[in-house]
Amino acid sequence: MSQVIDLFRKYIGIPSASKDGSFSKPSTPEQLTMALALEKDMRSLGISDVFNQGDGYVYGRVPANAEGQPKIGLIAHLDVVDNEPCAPMNERVIRYEGGVVDVGNGITLDPALYPYLENWKGKELIVTDGTTILGADDKAGVAEIMALSSRLIGDDTIKHGDVMICFTPDEEIGGSAADMDLKRFGADWAYTVDGGALGGVEYENFNAASARVRFTGVSIHPGSAKGRMKNASLMAAEFISLLPAAETPAHTEGREGFYHLVEMSGTPEQASLAYILRDHDAEKLGAKKAFLHTCAGFIRQKYGPECCEVSIKDGYRNMIEVMKDNMQVVSRALAAFEKCGVKPFSAPVRGGTDGASLSFRGLPCPNLSTGSINHHGRGEIACVQDMEKMVDVLTELVRAR
């Protein structure tokens, strides 16, 4: 196997799931173990200015061997999701000749549902035994950045400016970009290597908000409740029915936004609903927030002014607001793929990305593919040849112009 695959298989064998709701930084001690492993490997490869911040952030630099070049940053996160087991890791390499992929443990992937598999006929795929996730999100990106660094250090004929590296913790729970030390990082612009299928260049994402809707009822013995009981749980059910049924994640795609009910609880006296709201268009997201207040007003008018209240909190924003003035960063990535014989594509991210937060902090930062798909599940797959190709793409990305 190539160096990038050897590194990848090493890193996925180190459990490093983050955990939402934790009060520590990083959220799990396993991430510190992963950070130490990366620090050791970075020093071994000869990467300069290696700095382990002690909280899961690890920085480094591949020094320039050409003058007058920008300082290009590359970022990947060392944590994986905790919604599925990530250990013990029993990965294997299979050759794909078409048809359904039997991962194991009852997990199968049918090209009818995962059409991208057709692009991998004749290639080697890395899968698990179906009992864990693979961790390609984002240890594929970590391995590709490390393999690139090794290539640049070992081949002085590849001319490039400073390549700034940062591995971050807690990305899967939204806790990495805000605490990244951009001054220490020192890049003029950067790319997160944290995407999916080979060729992806992402520079649009959802605008995000979260909402909590609380209902207050009047609980009376059901035997004497007529005309007096106000059931908070039924108010919540009625509120749900007021929202457009076709604007949920299960009915939307592309740039279509949604209301997503993520939590509900209730008794006749008290009930609560939690939503996340998403839209690529900021004005449309604003309309969704306004409509929640309209629905709450209807409930109050029907059941009383104290019966329903809505609180809304804004989240991340669409990085296109920043990237539209920095499209040379995107163009450089597109050209790197094309130089390597890969047809690039761009699609709006139906989620968030560290690049969005970093872009609004003053570091333009689109997202690049890793050569893996089906993240966050036990059917996650990485392609050997596509990961190797990504190292070539990153080489072209940082090559001196």
Give residue 132's identity as a one-letter amino acid code. Answer: T
Which residue from 372, 379, 398 is spatially nearest to 143, judged by alpha carbons?
372
Give residue 84's identity as a one-letter amino acid code. Answer: E
Q: What are phi and psi of 162, to 5 degrees?
A: -60, 130
Beta carbons of 93 and 6 less than 8 angstroms apart: no
Does residue 79 carry a catalytic annotation? yes
Which residue from 140, 147, 146 is spatially nearest to 194, judged by alpha carbons?
140
Cα separation, 72 vs 191, in Å, equals 8
Cα separation, 33 vs 40, in Å, equals 11
Pairing state of beta strands 58-62 and 381-383?
unpaired
State the DSSP code for 218: B
Q: Which residues contact 287 (CB under 8 A, 6 or more apart)?
A: none
Exactly one of 138, 170, 171, 279 is catalytic; name it.
171
Q: What residues form DSSP beta bridges with 372?
A: 382
3-state SS, 36-49, equals HHHHHHHHHHCCEE
Cα separation, 233 vs 267, in Å, equals 6
Q: Which residues contact 138 (CB under 8 A, 6 or more apart)?
A: 76, 77, 78, 80, 171, 193, 194, 370
Cα separation, 300 vs 234, in Å, equals 13
Q: What residues form DSSP beta bridges with 191?
A: 74
Exactly one of 30, 39, 41, 79 is catalytic; name it.
79
* Residue 254 tokens, joined: 């592309």
Beta carbons of 330 and 202 less than 8 angstroms apart: no
State the DSSP code for 225: -
Does residue 49 carry a catalytic annotation? no
DSSP secondary structure, 83-128, as one string: SS---S---EEEE--SS-EEEETTEEE-TTT-GGGGGGTTSEEEE-
Active site residues: 79, 171
